[in-house]
Amino acid sequence: MGCGGGGGGGAGSSSSSFYVTDVKYGRLIDEGNGPRLVSPLTTVDVDAITGKVVPGSLLPLANGVDVNALQTFGIGVNYLPCVIPRNGVLQIEFSALVNAVSIFSDIIDADGSILSDGSIQVRTEAGKGAAVSLSQPSPNVIWVNPVTSLTVGFPPSPVDFGPDGEARADATGFLRLTLPKTGGAVIQSTQGATLGSRVDKLGDVDTPIGFNPGNRVLDFISQNQLIPTGDSFNGFLPDISPPRIIRTHTYSKTLAFGAGDSSTSSSLTDAAASFSTDAKSGLGEWATGQLVLRPGLATEETHGVLRIRSLDHRTSVAVFGRNIQGKSRQGLAVLVVNRYGDRHFLTQAWLGSAGGYDLEKSREERELASRSPKREPEVISIAAR
């Protein structure tokens, strides 16, 4: 394995006094006190409005993980390109203080073609540039961030499988990190020294530091055997937070101070306003919503979103259903269930006189029905009371 724990790289000495000592990667977070890099073997909750990490939400992915320890590439004479998360940030460490003016990345076009060389280059094996942003969090450290306004991370490595059917990484690295030592794009120290080569020459134009961004089958945790886990995150940093959809709620009104409204230098108070943080009374934002397939065509279909909750509100499920016209008997809300022995499957939901939803049969119901094709299921109607 190429990537190791939090230690430094080998063959770090050089005939030069200014050279790369190590390359690491981690998760970039900001809890409101400025950005910092932490272990990639972590999870966090992110405030959907500010984009900052919720303080106190940084947790190790497994017991024994040091949340502050980055993962090293382990560069050295026996270096093998490792797998990293696509949205992981690289940390390049140097033996001396770096002149910030000399730090700049490749300028590339939309196709990745190189328009101007950078002093830090991240390119594919085909020579295309990868979009990154660079920053200097401390005098002898540079961060390479693949998350930009146009990208969610490094481009994924091509999907490849070995003879045993297991996903495998490129032995030379799909992406290559190069820090030129000659020409007009060379990193310099604050003392005016140009960047020198390591003993193993890694990072030079002829021997770039290869690495493999993850993909849907190539996960950095399992590939680098970092911790025992069967979880995979589609090539990205661990993320176990449920997806959320954020909407901006606009409210306007002329304040009436005689009716109890008030204002200060930092707030406005509308005495009559009332808001609920539960979308559609807790049913969910998509409840009673509609999805139109092939709009305007003869085959147009309209599907609705139905949310069903238990009486104690602790359990709920959302399902798609095809809208149907008409009304149930006596205009009541009715659930229609198909019964196969001791198995029950929801097939229709009527909203009284406002029409209803026709649900597709699940795979399990279709399998049960196919076992006894001549036997119709028992249809049970459950009316609201």
Mean pLDDT value of segment 71-91: 95
In a domain, 262, yes or no: no
Q: 15 and 139: one domain?
A: yes
Mean pLDDT value of segment 313-328: 70
Q: 223 and 126: one domain?
A: yes
Which tens digit of pLDDT belongs to each residue from 331-340? 778 888 888 8
In a domain, 279, yes or no: no
Assigned token pair, 368: 């049960």
Who has greater pLDDT, 140 or 358?
140
What is the b/e burial string over 311-324, where b = at least 16 CB atoms within 10 angstroms of the residue's CB? eeeeeeeebebbee
Could you give the 3-state DSSP secondary structure of residue 208?
coil
Could you give the 3-state DSSP secondary structure of residue 34?
coil
In a domain, 281, yes or no: no
pLDDT at res. 286: 55
Q: 202 and 324: one domain?
A: no
Q: Which of 242, 271, 301 is the last residue of a domain?
A: 242
| DSSP β-ladder status, 82-84 and 209-213 | parallel
Residue 8 has pLDDT above 60, yes or no: no
Confidence of residue 226 (pLDDT cuts 50, 70, 90): confident
Assigned token pair, 324: 């149907």
Q: 303 and 206: one domain?
A: no
- Asked if residues 84 and 108 have their Cβ atoms less than 8 Å apart, the reply is no
pLDDT at res. 176: 98
pLDDT at res. 357: 80
How many Cβ atoms from other residues are within 10 Å of residue 153's Cβ? 23
Confidence of residue 281 (pLDDT cuts 50, 70, 90): low
Domain coverage including residue 322: 290-383
Who has greater pLDDT, 297 or 101?
101
pLDDT at res. 1: 46
pLDDT at res. 140: 97
In one-letter notation, the amino acid at residue 24 is K
Q: 224 and 296: one domain?
A: no
Q: Picking from 223-227, 320-324, 377-381, which range would have the lowest pLDDT averaged per residue?
A: 320-324
Confidence of residue 317 (pLDDT cuts 50, 70, 90): low
pLDDT at res. 382: 82
Q: Which of 207, 242, 277 is the last residue of a domain?
A: 242
Nearest to 28 by CA among 46, 11, 15, 16: 46
In a domain, 269, yes or no: no
Q: Scan for tokens 């490792």, then name that residue.
A: 82
- Asked if residues 118 and 183 have their Cβ atoms less than 8 Å apart, the reply is no
Which tens digit of pLDDT belongs to each residue from 10-69? 555 555 789 999 999 999 999 888 999 999 999 998 887 777 888 889 999 888 899 999
Q: Which of 242, 276, 305 is the last residue of a domain?
A: 242
Q: 152 and 78: one domain?
A: yes
Residue 151 has pLDDT above 60, yes or no: yes
Q: How far apart are CA 176 and CA 330, in angstroms?
A: 70
Q: 178 and 70: one domain?
A: yes
Q: How far apart are CA 242 and CA 179, in angstroms?
A: 39
Residue 147 has pLDDT above 70, yes or no: yes
> What's the Cα-to-Cα distance from 116 to each of 112, 113, 179, 185, 193, rounded to whole Å?
11, 9, 14, 9, 23
In a domain, 275, yes or no: no
- Asked if residues 76 and 64 have their Cβ atoms less than 8 Å apart, the reply is no
Q: 34 and 152: one domain?
A: yes
- Asked if residues 123 and 176 have their Cβ atoms less than 8 Å apart, the reply is yes
Confidence of residue 385 (pLDDT cuts 50, 70, 90): low
In a domain, 113, yes or no: yes
Mean pLDDT value of segment 142-164: 94
Q: Picking from 183-197, 227-241, 301-315, which range would have the lowest pLDDT averaged per residue?
A: 301-315
pLDDT at res. 12: 52
What average pLDDT is seen over the chain? 85
pLDDT at res. 46: 84
Q: 163 and 24: one domain?
A: yes
In a domain, 45, yes or no: yes
Confidence of residue 134 (pLDDT cuts 50, 70, 90): very high
> What's the Cα-to-Cα distance from 161 to each of 165, 186, 221, 363, rounded to whole Å?
5, 38, 17, 30
Which tens digit of pLDDT belongs to each residue from 162-193? 898 888 999 999 999 999 999 999 999 999 99
Q: 141 and 206: one domain?
A: yes
In one-letter notation, the amino acid at residue 30 is D
In a domain, 64, yes or no: yes
Nearest to 79 by CA among 172, 214, 162: 172
Q: What percent of the chain has pLDDT over 90?
A: 46
Angle at 301 between CA 304 and CA 242, to 5 degrees: 40
Q: 227 and 356: one domain?
A: no
Q: Picking from 16-20, 207-211, 344-348, 373-377, which range would have the lowest pLDDT averaged per residue?
A: 373-377
Q: 143 and 35: one domain?
A: yes
Quote the number of domains for the chain: 2
Q: What percent of the chain has pLDDT over 70?
A: 83
- Residue 379, sorted as left (phi over 0), alpha (psi -120 to 50) or beta, turns out to be beta
